[in-house]
Amino acid sequence: MSGEVRATYGASLSPDATAFAHLVDDGGYPRAVQRFLRGRRASSSRDVELPVDGPVTRVIHSADGHWLACEVAPEGAERTQIWVVTTDPDDRLARRVDAMDAGTAELIAWDGARVAAILTGEDGVGQSTLIDPVDGHLVVLDRRSGGRLVDAWAGAALIRVGPRGYRDLIMLRGLTEIALLPYDPGATTDAGVILDDRSPRRLRCGPDGTDFALCHPAHTYGPNAAEGYVRALIRSDNGAAHTRLLEVTSTP
């Protein structure tokens, strides 16, 4: 007896919960599909059409739900590219946004309506970047050997640094680099996500952390502002025998 095997994985839900996209592997290269939700029903799958032949390895909705970003490995190669399409089923236009003639592009997330990606050239040094899908304008957040963008949101970014066995996360806010945890040689802090806070909070502040003040989320002050707070959840075994999920807060 033989049967058709169809694997689905890597789902992304639109911010307004009216659509979702995921990867399908039913023979040949894995591809991205999109489905729309209407009440308790879901539409039939619509293939995300891309002008490149190769497996789609990741698909993510933008924060406004207007775009889908796809990471593709042309012809199954190790190097990947980033393509974007709108979520409009009648719009078949696909745009490549990484503009890498050589090297590879890795899709990380969306920071609002900009693609957060790591662009690695022939020299092996990765650039943590934000890319506008409309005009391709690129902002370099960080460039260092061994540096890796983990998340970006509203003017803040988490960058993983350090060799295997001693990895740490730092937060970038504009031109300021912030250590999130105390120095602990051999500890591993390797994953995290920046929280989308929308309300003011009463937080510790000042050089000694002994004062309290009502702080607003950093995104209310605009890009590269030092005001406001940013919270993140990070995975770390810093100062402990086991890995924990920690909440950290950056304040002025």
pLDDT digits (tens, 9 = 90+) for 107-155: 999 999 999 999 998 888 999 999 999 999 999 999 998 899 999 998 8
> What was the pLDDT predicted at 1?
41
pLDDT digits (tens, 9 = 90+) for 183-238: 999 999 999 999 999 899 998 877 777 788 889 998 888 777 778 899 999 999 99
Considering the domain delimited by 1-145, tell me its CATH architecture.
Answer: 6 Propeller (2.120)
What are the residues facing 178 on neighbouring strands?
171
User: Cβ distance 118 to 105 under 8 Å?
Assistant: yes
- Per-residue confidence band for 40, with pLDDT thresholds at 50, 70 and 90: confident
What are the residues facing 67 on neighbouring strands?
86
Q: Where are the domains of the chain?
A: 1-145, 146-252
Question: What's the CA gap between 78 and 219, in Å, rounded?
Answer: 36
Record the pTM.
0.89
